[in-house]
Amino acid sequence: MHEVMEKEGLKPPEFLLEAGSIFKVILRNTPIYPPETIKWLKQFEKYDLTPNQKRLLAYAHAHDGKFTSHAYQKLVGVDIYAASKDIKDLIRKGIIRLTRKGGRIYELIEPSARGRIFIPEDLRRLLPVIHDKGYIKNQDLQKVLNISRFQAHRLLEQWLSLGLLQREGKGRGTRYILTENVVL
């Protein structure tokens, strides 16, 4: 019931227990969003978004296309980990991106650019190595970016979680290759 009501853009059902034995279900034919927002959200139907992600996109649409993780947490009542998971999923799907490296503000990606994965500047600097060898290793990041082993590991994990890279092998033999959805 919840899913159908949410999919149709209607307020979720209310469940009430009155006088200990009377159970009521209230189904309202009242839209959650204004008609123009419902129309705008239809462009995301193919992305298989959760109701919370749709609420976030509607929120961003009403706020100049921008939002923060904190705003999302308050909007839907989730913790930082659930918010991070949903936001990373939207980034992987090419719907949103960070406004700047290391920033905390996310923005909607224009429909014409949607579906393309944006490669972070640090990963761009490693593209010649990937082109030559077909993969990168932790040592490549250390050398090209002039960073520590720990910083390189952290960047690789971040790129893995964003769906930019996939891991092959274990230990010292671990290699990282670009995923199929990254277009150069």
Q: How many CB atoms lie within 10 A of CB 107?
A: 16
Average pLDDT over residues 25-32: 81
Average pLDDT over residues 131-142: 93
- Kindly state whether residues 41 and 76 are assigned to the same domain: yes
Q: Is the pLDDT of residue 116 over 80?
A: no
Residue 43 falls within a domain, yes or no? yes
Give the domain-ending residue among 113, 135, 162. Answer: 113
Residue 68 confidence (pLDDT): 94
Beta-strand runs (E) in the chain: 14-18, 22-26, 66-68, 96-98, 105-108, 165-168, 175-178
Range(s) of the domain holding residue 25: 1-32
Residue 88 falls within a domain, yes or no? yes
Q: Is the pLDDT of residue 41 over 80?
A: yes
Cα 131 → chain centroid:
27
Among 1-5, 51-55, 107-111, 151-155, the minimum mean pLDDT is found in 1-5
Whole-number Å distance between alpha carbons of 43 and 54: 11
Residue 52 falls within a domain, yes or no? yes
Among 57-61, 101-105, 144-148, the minimum mean pLDDT is found in 101-105
Here the CATH number for the domain that contains residue 133 is: 1.10.10.10
Average pLDDT over residues 62-79: 92
Residue 165 falls within a domain, yes or no? yes
Average pLDDT over residues 145-166: 89
Q: How many CB atoms lie within 10 A of CB 137?
A: 18
Residue 5 confidence (pLDDT): 75
User: HSE of 110 in the Cβ direction (CA atoms, 13 Å)?
Assistant: 2
Residue 183 falls within a domain, yes or no? no
Check if the beta carbon of residue 75 is closer than 8 Å to that of residue 59. yes
Check if the beta carbon of residue 76 is closer than 8 Å to that of residue 67. no
Q: Which two tokens stand for residue 131?
A: 């082109």
Check if the beta carbon of residue 135 is closer than 8 Å to that of residue 171. no
Q: What residues pair up with 168 in beta bridges, in sequence order?
A: 175
Phi then psi for residue 116, to 5 deg, are -85, 140
Residue 184 falls within a domain, yes or no? no
Residue 45 confidence (pLDDT): 86
pLDDT tens, position by position, 3-19: 777 666 677 788 888 88
Give the domain-ending residue among 113, 141, 157. Answer: 113
Query: Judging by beta carbons within 10 Å of its beta carbon (0-12, 13-18, 19+), is residue 165 exposed, middle or buried?
Result: buried
Per-residue CA distances from 91 to 62, 86, 88, 132, 157 (Å): 19, 9, 5, 28, 15
